[in-house]
Structure 1
Amino acid sequence: MSTIKEEVSVSSLTKGQMRLSIGIIAMMFFVFGFVTWINAILIPYFKLAFELNHFESYLVAFAFYIAYLLMSLPSGYLLKQVGFKKGMMIGFFIMSIGAALFVPAGAIRSYPLFLGGLFTLGVGLSVLQTAANPYVTILGDKERAAQRFSIMGICNKFSGIVAPLLFAAVILKPEDQVFLESLKTLVGEEKEAGLSSLLERVMLPYTVVSIVLIGLGLMIKFSPLPEIRTDDQEGATFDNKQVGGKRSILEFPHLVLGAFAIFFHVGSQVIAVDSIINYAQSTGLSFFEAKTFPSYTLSATIVGYLLGITFIPKVISQLMALRICCLLGLLLSFGLIFISGESKWFGYDTDISVWFLVMMGFANSMIWAGVWPLALSDLGKFLKIGASLLVMALCGNAILPMVYGYFADKIGLKDAYWVLIPCYAYLIFYAFYGFRIRSWK
């Protein structure tokens, strides 16, 4: 296949073109959030509809995110061959196929087919993430990368607030509360008919999503978004330093260690969002009350992003923000595990530990924005493949929720949050020391 024919260097972009390019990427992050964070409602939804245990229900996250592990490096090579814009169009088309698979899955009530659709969505999204994140790093001053990532994060998390609530409003009716409460007593054909009817409701919304994704792919293809080429730079990074003759991305310790940091960060973030409905229910809330809590967690993340945009780098550096968030995540994890007590905040009669889980959203807000530019620093011609490695690390979203689900079945929902402790401990290591390592020797 031919390489990119028409290319625009970032340095030649006007301010207007730069803002337009960032706006297009922001729109993509909104779409990423809509498709991604809807899993927060799909996990308890499928748990009810298919009568799953916690481990089985977290196969939703596993199927979706394991695609990053399998496809991120191939995504990098795809972008190298066809270019960023055509590659992103292909990513949207693949996602459209994944959304379309929800229609037959709902019709025949097949959990494996639903998981196949989620995996296909993840494959397309891995291509898009591999392309979009380098744009955020490169389109502007490196020192302000955290600000741009914060803006993208707001788009992503705002979409994540809207998506579960909108999805729940479309597929759940007020009278369903009586049906859900009677599931334990219903048997036979009546129960099967009710569960099948519940699943069939996903068919229409995902049909609409599939059509929209096709349209977005075509829009990206014909948009003015510039192509970015790094392959011919022969060691020159985006900040004009030299790589030093290295031949493999594995020769960059700060990148490899950064990939593990991304792994633990995204895994702990998804645990906080995707487990909160089930955990809130375990403290006495109904499903209809608990379904709003993922939006609260993501709202706390947006607050963190807004503070980041306001104070970085004028008041604190993005590195200091990263360190503060990692330390806060560890403290909140311990609070979640060890502190209990009745709480009636915002009209919810629940345990105070639920609100520690909500505040995890704030702690997670500036970690991605801090780790990503540190890990991609000084990569030169390895930038695309390095970005692919970091996107591959998003498989933490697949693996760590499964670990949590396993322990939730074995030792309980609350004690299972011990899996968060090593995650934040490693992030603290990377934020204070790991990112400085430039040689394995």
Structure 2
Amino acid sequence: MAVSGSADLSQFKAQSDSGQSYNFTLVVLTSLFFMWGFIACLNDILIPHLKNVFSLNYTQAMLIQFCFFSAYFIVSMPAAALIKKVGYKFGIVSGLSIAGIGCVLFYPAAGAQSYPLFLFALFVLASGITCLQVSANPYVASLGRAETASSRLNLTQAFNSLGTTVAPFFGGLFILSAVSLGAEQIAQLSVAEQAAAKLQEAQAVQIPYLVLAGILFGLAAIFTFLKLPKIESIETDDSCADAVSLKEQPSAWKTPHLMLGALGIFVYVGAEVSIGSFLISFLGEDNIAGLAEAQAANYIAYYWGGAMVGRFIGAALMRFVAANKILTVNAISAVILLIVAITSSGQVAMWAILSVGLCNSIMFPTIFTLAVNRLGKATGQGSGILCLSIAGGALIPLLQGVLADAIGIQMAFVLPVMCYLYIMFYGVKGSRIGLQ
């Protein structure tokens, strides 16, 4: 069977005992998508900031993304087990609470000027975000008709992108702008003055992350008292019954298009995170834009803002155009833009790399829904596997950091090029393997 622009998620149904509409529930859930997009994007600000504070190379600085996104691999399955036990609603509450604790840990990490403690705080924070991801993605997909699942996920992911668009301004204003001296200026100070300056820089993150902790705890309290529709598994409908019976249904691990989709999520998240992680440093290069860190932070909004605009457009297009075709076109466009960024300089290179965000727009929710297409009762397991694959955001930026230290930051973008080439393959063929 050919894959259309939607996933077969009819094995879920949403019931509202309280009479609340699905529209209200979707509105409430968008706050979660906004928050984890906002928090994840702040890593792009933390990387150059902590790189200066602790005098790190690119590889060491990318441990920020490694610790943050490795939580998806380590915590996804335990989070899925927790949600199975306590339900989606309290899975969300748990995730918000854990993320809040992670934000609070930034305070002692800054006070102690401990990079390992910063990394631990990021892991705890990401563990909470992982619980939210595992809860919210399938929950949103199930709230409504299966034929519009891709559209709903694209729409809510658009608000995720709104969070990533706002975050650079927040981080640039309250974190990077608080830094009065550059790395070269600090190097000219005495040992005691250097220690005082770096302590001041480290402490610049304390208040912003305490504010985030307060917001997360507040959301946890709100969700505790909200009455949300329940999700119950039901039998697959006739459109799935002809593919495989419930008794004969294989494990999601043995489904080719899902496993290829998992790799697609892995390389997509890795590429998107890698590009965002290096943007401030890339735009600071003399042959690109020569921007100061606080100025470059504002331009990150164009990268993530492009993803936001594209997701709103994608939410509409998915109703008329096959998702795999849109995915293919976007992947090809991303490859072309990255090649331009690698081989050119100045404004051309700068806007080429920033424009990749528009190409990223529909990739995660589209790969997600294509990958869980026709999984039937194995959809929950498939969702967990896909969430595990978000660990690409841990490994690929780290590898690009190694490349940047070895061959330079501009040439290191060849790694995301390879990632988008695979996504192009998945759109053309991989998403249909095993479904014909």
Q: Which moved more, 1:236-245 or 1:129-138?
A: 236-245
In 2, the alpha carbon distance for the partners of 1:172 and 1:273 equals 16
Structure 2 residue aligned with 1:277: 280
In 2, the alpha carbon distance for the partners of 1:428 and 1:173 equals 39
Instruction: Specify whether residues 38 and 237 from structure 1 end up closer, same or farther in structure 2 by C-alpha distance, changes over 3 A only.
Output: farther
Matched residue SS, 2:232: coil
Letter of the structure 2 residue corresponding to residue 220 of structure 1: F
Q: Which runs of 5+ in 2 are unaligned?
A: 1-11
* 1:187 CA displacement: 3.6
**8 Å Cα contact 2:13-2:143 kept in structure 1:** no
In 2, the alpha carbon distance for the partners of 1:356 and 1:15 equals 48
Matched residue SS, 1:106: helix
Q: Is residue 207 from structure 1 mapped to residue 210 from structure 2 by the alignment?
A: yes
* 1:129 CA displacement: 0.2
From 292, 295, 316, the equivalent of 2:301 is: 295
- What is the CA deviation profile of residues 25-64 of structure 1, one whole-angstrom value per residue up to 9, with x for unaligned ones? 2111011111111101010110111111011111111110
Structure 2 residue aligned with 1:399: 395
Q: Is residue 369 from structure 1 mapped to residue 373 from structure 2 by the alignment?
A: no
From 170, 174, 186, the equivalent of 1:170 is: 174
Structure 2 residue aligned with 1:150: 154
Structure 2 residue aligned with 1:326: 331
In 1, the alpha carbon distance for the partners of 2:19 and 2:161 equals 26
Structure 1 residue aligned with 2:404: 408
Letter of the structure 1 residue corresponding to residue 24 of structure 2: L
In 1, the alpha carbon distance for the partners of 2:312 and 2:51 equals 34
Q: Is residue 35 from structure 1 mapped to residue 31 from structure 2 by the alignment?
A: no
From 331, 340, 344, the equivalent of 1:335 is: 340
**8 Å Cα contact 1:99-1:210 kept in structure 2:** yes
**8 Å Cα contact 1:243-1:378 kept in structure 2:** no
From 52, 63, 71, the equivalent of 2:67 is: 63
Letter of the structure 1 residue corresponding to residue 280 of structure 2: I
From 415, 419, 424, the equivalent of 2:415 is: 419
Q: Is residue 382 from structure 1 mapped to residue 378 from structure 2 by the alignment?
A: yes
Instruction: Specify whether residues 317 and 180 from structure 1 end up closer, same or farther in structure 2 by C-alpha distance, changes over 3 A only.
Output: same
Letter of the structure 2 residue corresponding to residue 148 of structure 1: R
Instruction: Specify whether residues 229 and 107 from structure 1 end up closer, same or farther in structure 2 by C-alpha distance, changes over 3 A only.
Output: same
* 1:333 CA displacement: 2.0
Q: Which runs of 5+ in 1 are unaligned?
A: 1-7, 344-351
Matched residue SS, 1:186: coil
**8 Å Cα contact 2:171-2:297 kept in structure 1:** no
State the number of aligned residues: 419
Over aligned residues, Cα RMSD in angstroms?
2.2
Letter of the structure 2 residue corresponding to residue 333 of structure 1: L
Structure 1 residue aligned with 2:260: 257
Letter of the structure 2 residue corresponding to residue 337 of structure 1: I
In 2, the alpha carbon distance for the partners of 1:237 and 1:22 equals 24
* 1:72 CA displacement: 0.8
Letter of the structure 2 residue corresponding to residue 290 of structure 1: A
* 1:417 CA displacement: 0.8
Instruction: Specify whether residues 239 and 294 from structure 1 end up closer, same or farther in structure 2 by C-alpha distance, changes over 3 A only.
Output: farther
In 2, the alpha carbon distance for the partners of 1:179 and 1:98 equals 28
Instruction: Specify whether residues 228 and 240 from structure 1 end up closer, same or farther in structure 2 by C-alpha distance, changes over 3 A only.
Output: farther
Structure 2 residue aligned with 1:192: 195
Q: Which moved more, 1:417-426 or 1:214-223?
A: 214-223
**8 Å Cα contact 1:138-1:238 kept in structure 2:** no
1:13-92 to structure 2, matched below 5 A, reads 17-92=21-96
Structure 2 residue aligned with 1:304: 310
Structure 2 residue aligned with 1:286: 292
Instruction: Specify whether residues 14 and 380 from structure 1 end up closer, same or farther in structure 2 by C-alpha distance, changes over 3 A only.
Output: farther
**8 Å Cα contact 1:99-1:121 kept in structure 2:** yes
Structure 2 residue aligned with 1:100: 104
Matched residue SS, 2:396: helix
From 117, 131, 135, the equivalent of 1:113 is: 117
In 2, the alpha carbon distance for the partners of 1:253 and 1:431 equals 14
In 1, the alpha carbon distance for the partners of 2:238 and 2:221 equals 29
TM-score (ref. length: structure 1): 0.90
Structure 1 residue aligned with 2:3: none
Q: Which moved more, 1:197-206 or 1:121-130?
A: 197-206
- What is the CA deviation profile of residues 98-121 of structure 1, one whole-angstrom value per residue up to 9, with x for unaligned ones? 111111101110010010000001
**8 Å Cα contact 2:333-2:359 kept in structure 1:** yes
In 2, the alpha carbon distance for the partners of 1:11 and 1:238 equals 21
- What is the CA deviation profile of residues 170-218 of structure 1, one whole-angstrom value per residue up to 9, with x for unaligned ones? 23447x4445551232241101100101111212222222222122122
**8 Å Cα contact 1:272-1:361 kept in structure 2:** no
In 2, the alpha carbon distance for the partners of 1:85 and 1:168 equals 34
Matched residue SS, 1:228: strand
From 416, 422, 435, the equivalent of 2:431 is: 435
From 125, 128, 133, the equivalent of 1:124 is: 128
* 1:16 CA displacement: 5.5
TM-score (ref. length: structure 2): 0.91
**8 Å Cα contact 1:73-1:385 kept in structure 2:** no
Instruction: Specify whether residues 414 and 173 from structure 1 end up closer, same or farther in structure 2 by C-alpha distance, changes over 3 A only.
Output: closer
Structure 2 residue aligned with 1:268: 271
In 1, the alpha carbon distance for the partners of 2:317 and 2:17 equals 27
**8 Å Cα contact 2:15-2:231 kept in structure 1:** no
In 1, the alpha carbon distance for the partners of 2:435 and 2:90 equals 36
* 1:380 CA displacement: 2.2
* 1:91 CA displacement: 1.1
Letter of the structure 2 residue corresponding to residue 134 of structure 1: P
